[in-house]
Structure 1
Amino acid sequence: MTTYPIGRFAIDVPAEMKLVHQWQRLRYAEIEEFAWSGSVPRERARDEAWKKRLTEIGKLTPPKGKERVIIETRDFPGVGAWARGILFYGNRMSPKDGNWLILMDVGQTAAWLELKGLVQYEQDMLHDLTEIAKSYQARRFGDLKLPPGNWFYTEHGVINLPYLEQETAAARFEGHPLEVKLAIKTVETHKIEPEGHGLLGRLGALLATRFAGNVEIKKIRTGKRMVAAMPGEETILRADEEGRKELSFMWRYAGEKDSGEHPKILIEMESADGRIEEKLQIWDAVLNSLKPMYGTGR
């Protein structure tokens, strides 16, 4: 098993599986990372990346009454090894909407940080985005030993900021010899879920109303399941649609209201039918590995 930190949690995944995509949002800011190719000097690579995105933005249609879509560009001394940003109109239908976008060079990798909001609050947006950028540091794969802090893990880095609002992390894994696919998502929740509206309640309603149509669903294992001290619900089902059988594994925790330590969590695994015992072992190992990464470094 290989450990992957995702947001404020970490999960172990079979070593044969590869990370296909990881996505995250912190305090409304979208974070997109990439590694420098190494085939060209880094200064040239970041210049080319910046110019390419600048060209793409320049082709956007400005809102009515505005001649240009680009409002401002500027450098950010002291942020990473190098950082440059742009403020532009993000909605051609409204001159009120603006996007701050920063490209940050942090060594072997780079990150785009984007925050959308109202142009009239662009200084507040810039302050929030700069705070995230200054709190970001690159991380080698497998490096999970950090000092105490409020760590939020991205694919190539880590951000030392406590939960505030609008925080999401998601990842998808594929490539296992048994053709299983795995996904995990954590997202903040702003309301307490009513009793019976969880995974098991929805499954019961689905089966009761025959909403599945021509799909025959068989329960393999369902019930409440505690994972990482969080009371969630588990369903493992076999779906048969005209002879095509698939397995579906799900575990869901409803989360606590406005909490970064206890967000809503959904873990899913899917595959074609067959070798169920081996897949159950994989599933159980994945769930049992889930652990928090906030607070004390691990």
Structure 2
Amino acid sequence: MTISATLRRALLFLLITPIVTLLACTSSEGTQKKSTQPTTDKGVPRMTTYPIGRFAIDVPAEMKLVHQWQRLRYAEIEEFAWPGSVPRERARDEAWKRRLAEIGKLTPPKGKERVIIETRDFPGLGDWARGVFYYGNYMMVNEGKWSVLLDYGNAGVWIETRSAIIETENINKMLRNINNIATSYTTRRFGELKPSSGYWFYTKHGALDLPYLRQETAAARFEGHPLGLEIDIETTEIHKEEAENHGLIGRTTAVIVTGYAAGIDIKRIRSRTRVVTGLKGDEEVDRMDDGTRSVLSFAWRFAGRKDSGEHPKILITMECADGHLEEKLQIWDAVLNSLKPMYGPGR
């Protein structure tokens, strides 16, 4: 489904600031799933549970995970499955050479001849690990990035982090951070959950046993539902409390009252506070029509608590073509009711 420009503008105004746990509806296919639950009474859909970051959520079993992204302790973590068509040693060598080639095409800062500062092996991390340190911004001679490729057997992982000032103390901090993340990471099979005694942060192919510190985000997208649903989910920490009336309900009211979304007829189906997994958030379900297309927009948003891994900002949204409202509300309620924390000991 392609949403017209005016409808997209209205949706962006409502959702761009609060992004955290996101459910969107559109049609396409994806990749990956988790343990499937049986069909329940009264047409409630079969659901599949996915752990994402420090939370888990259920989505309709027909849908597939097409993208998952995370940032932890200033580091971005990118995972991939090794191709089965070539030996793993060859696959990781090719992955390493591709990344070096990509970095080599970057423009070095003024006064520097090369982008790459150094490469080195990281013995003791995973089955094999190698990293490259390079200038991450051609406008800043003092900004450096480490990009480290790790082989964990079942999956390959890139860990990338940066420092605004290249000096020995900061470089050592970056390397310690990479070491802590890499040694805390473990691969997992699809559907496998780690013991509840850990401070687990889940990725697509693995999990890290690390308590919250700072700079933490998890996001995922699901596609492939027969009703044209897309699901995106994101959680992120906040460092400033939200001002009153800046929540989802207040933002939607402002759009309607001020006429910001000119030419769009917005009809509210639900507009209320709703507690999900013990967190009090705003729920909005709206029908939006620009005269050429009518879409349904579902959203639940928790504003988050400052500097908290257990209570990050959360936004769940669902956008789809109009029609089958009751069935979509049933799916929406099942998704929201499934949200649960995976964080901390004794969960």
Q: TM-score, normalised by structure 2?
A: 0.84
The answer to whether the Cα contact below 8 Å between 2:194 and 2:200 also exists between their aligned partners in 1 is: no
Task: Give the letter aligned to residue 119 of structure 1.
Answer: I
> Out of 124, 131, 139, which is 2:180 matched to?
131
Using the TM superposition, give the Cα deviation of residue 147 of structure 1 relative to its aligned residue in structure 2, in angstroms.
4.6
**CA deviation vs aligned residue, 1:153-201 (integer Å, no higher than 9, x gap):** 0111101111111100011111100111122110100111122110011
Q: Distance in 1 between matches of 2:232 and 2:98?
A: 31
Match of 1:191 in 2: 240
1:280 aligns with 2:344: no
Higher deviation after alignment, 54-63 or 221-230: 54-63
Match of 1:289 in 2: 338
Number of residues of Structure 1 aligned to a counterpart in Structure 2: 298
> Out of 39, 48, 73, which is 2:119 matched to?
73
1:35 aligns with 2:81: yes
Task: Give the letter aligned to residue 139 of structure 1.
Answer: R
Q: Which of the pair is proportionally richer in strand?
A: 1
Using the TM superposition, give the Cα deviation of residue 78 of structure 1 relative to its aligned residue in structure 2, in angstroms.
1.1
Task: Give the letter aligned to residue 270 of structure 1.
Answer: E
Match of 1:62 in 2: 108
> Out of 91, 97, 105, which is 1:45 matched to?
91
Q: Distance in 2 between matches of 1:72 and 1:20?
A: 34
**CA deviation vs aligned residue, 1:226-263 (integer Å, no higher than 9, x gap):** 00000001000000111411000000000100000000
The answer to whether the Cα contact below 8 Å between 2:300 and 2:317 also exists between their aligned partners in 1 is: yes
> Out of 157, 160, 166, which is 1:119 matched to?
166
Task: Give the letter aligned to residue 101 of structure 2.
Answer: T
The answer to whether the Cα contact below 8 Å between 1:145 and 1:297 also exists between their aligned partners in 2 is: no
Match of 2:279 in 1: 230
Q: State the structure with bigger RCO (CA 8 A, min sep 6), 1 or 2.
A: 2
The answer to whether the Cα contact below 8 Å between 2:238 and 2:305 also exists between their aligned partners in 1 is: yes
Q: Distance in 2 between matches of 1:297 and 1:16?
A: 32
> Out of 176, 193, 217, which is 2:266 matched to?
217
Q: Distance in 1 between matches of 2:75 and 2:174?
A: 10
Q: TM-score, normalised by structure 1?
A: 0.98
> Out of 151, 168, 175, which is 2:224 matched to?
175
The answer to whether the Cα contact below 8 Å between 1:144 and 1:297 also exists between their aligned partners in 2 is: no
Gaps of 5+ in 2: 1-46
TM-aligned CA distance change 1:84 to 1:297, over 3 Å: farther
1:23 aligns with 2:23: no
Task: Give the letter aligned to residue 169 of structure 1.
Answer: A
Gaps of 5+ in 1: none
Q: Classify the secondary structure of the residue corresponding to 1:259.
A: coil
Match of 2:25 in 1: none
Match of 1:13 in 2: 59
Question: Which runs of at least 4 in structure 1 moved beyond 4 Å after TM superposition?
Answer: none
Task: Give the letter aligned to residue 24 of structure 1.
Answer: Q
1:82 aligns with 2:128: yes
> Out of 253, 256, 261, which is 1:207 matched to?
256
Match of 1:166 in 2: 215
**CA deviation vs aligned residue, 1:21-72 (integer Å, no higher than 9, x gap):** 1111001101111000111110111011101111221222211121211111
Give the % identical residues. Answer: 66
